[in-house]
Amino acid sequence: MLHAALYGDEDQAVILTYAWDRLLIDPVPGPRGAHDFTGLEAVAPSVWSVPATARPVTPAGSTLPRLAAELPQTLALLDPSHGVEGVTRQLEELLAHLAPESIDLLDVGGDILARGDEPTLKSPLADAVTLAACCRVNAPVRLLVAGPGLDGELSAEDLRPLLGPVVHTLTAQDVAPVDTVLEWHPSEATGMLAATARGTRGICEVRDAGLPVPLTDESPCVHEVDLDEALSHNTLARAITATTTLDEVEAHSREICGFSEIDYERNKALWLKDQPPAPLDEGAVLRQVDEFESEARTRGVTHTTFRHLTEALNLKGSQRSNLRQLLLTRRPEQYAAPLWRIPDAT
């Protein structure tokens, strides 16, 4: 979406991205590596692209093959299993192979600018690894932060002093090329970014914890941030620069941030394993949705994501698409693509 907005459609980007879909899609904690897929295509010795025909190895799950089928860009796998040194090697090999005209590091939400000790911080690991690696390569990398505060971790107010100039404000026209993807992809931050580009404003509840995220006029903005300043602010990124394994990265995260998000996923996966799935009974679900919306209004909430709604109703991640289809069929007027609007009390 951002590539098309900034550079147009003539030259297609190669997007180096994690295969880390969280437990909603992937029941295996942590990010997936190349060994977790079949059908990957070699780009460089340490870099593999994910074509539409690739498949995650059971029991793992991944949205990347479907994304590859629906997007014109090439998706390459960012694999942190060998720590920051491994990701640096991937970047260097890719740069040597492609000789790109520009390199952008994009974070939606802005927690890539976290110190590491913020009490609201939930998922610093992936951002810190990528930031540290980008600072090591011998090439100019532009750091972009889209949708300040949209990941529900650091507020837009806290991030504002750290942000540079606005390079683009996303619009409904920018979102249109990925409309079909946002109909099924579970990314909450990207979903809110797209919704705000279409003009949605209010308070959106996200994640399993129901974090409230303001949707404001600032939300669809994309800011440039000085890469070296970001590294100097991010204690975790500085600490893991020489790591060669993901275990090392986790150890530093536990020491600096007080936790590893992969530990959280491990514990949650064990809990989910023992939870029987609730039946998707239409009448019962609609009553539960009514109760959820009534309580959400008392919290000042105007929107929610289907991911959060699925978890709030104690449904399995695999039931998310069925829940979404049921609600869009019965109450289409509440769909604020790709979010669910909480109606005013009648």
Instruction: Flag the least confident range among 5-19, 39-53, 98-112.
Output: 5-19
Query: What is the pLDDT averaged over residues 322-330?
Result: 95
pLDDT (tens digit, 9 = 90+) per residue, 241-293?
A: 999 999 999 999 999 999 999 999 999 888 777 777 667 889 999 999 999 99
Whether pTM exceeds 0.75: yes
Tell whether 324 is covered by a domain.
Answer: yes
Q: State residue 277's pLDDT score.
A: 67
232 shares a domain with 102: yes
Contact (Cβ atoms closer than 8 angstroms) between residue 340 and residue 305: yes
289 shares a domain with 163: no
298 shares a domain with 162: no
224 shares a domain with 337: no
As a whole-number percent, the residues of the chain with pLDDT over 90 amount to 86
C-alpha span between 307 and 295 (Å, rounded): 17
Q: Hey, what are 312's tokens?
A: 């709030």
Residue with tokens 């006029």: 217
Q: State the chain's mean pLDDT as an integer.
A: 94
CB half-sphere exposure, 225, CA atoms < 13 A: 33
Contact (Cβ atoms closer than 8 angstroms) between residue 146 and residue 105: no
Per-residue pLDDT at 181 exceeds 90: yes
Domain boundary residue, one of 239, 272, 296: 239
Please, what is the Cα angle at 202 between 178 and 330, to 5 degrees?
A: 65
Per-residue pLDDT at 112 exceeds 70: yes
For 20, the domain range is: 2-170+220-239
Per-residue pLDDT at 189 exceeds 70: yes
Q: State residue 92's pLDDT score.
A: 97
Per-residue pLDDT at 49 exceeds 90: yes
- For the chain, the domain total comes to 2
As a whole-number percent, the residues of the chain with pLDDT over 70 amount to 99
CA-to-CA separations, 49 to 133, 141, 176, 339, in angstroms, rounded: 19, 21, 25, 30
C-alpha span between 68 and 51 (Å, rounded): 6
Domain boundary residue, one of 206, 239, 272: 239
Query: What is the pLDDT averaged over residues 21-48?
Result: 94
Residue with tokens 């520009």: 102
Per-residue pLDDT at 168 exceeds 90: yes
Mapped onto helix, strand or coil, the DSSP state of residue 110 is coil
Tell whether 205 is covered by a domain.
Answer: no
Q: State residue 270's pLDDT score.
A: 86
Tell whether 39 is covered by a domain.
Answer: yes
122 shares a domain with 32: yes
304 shares a domain with 228: no
Q: State residue 23's pLDDT score.
A: 81
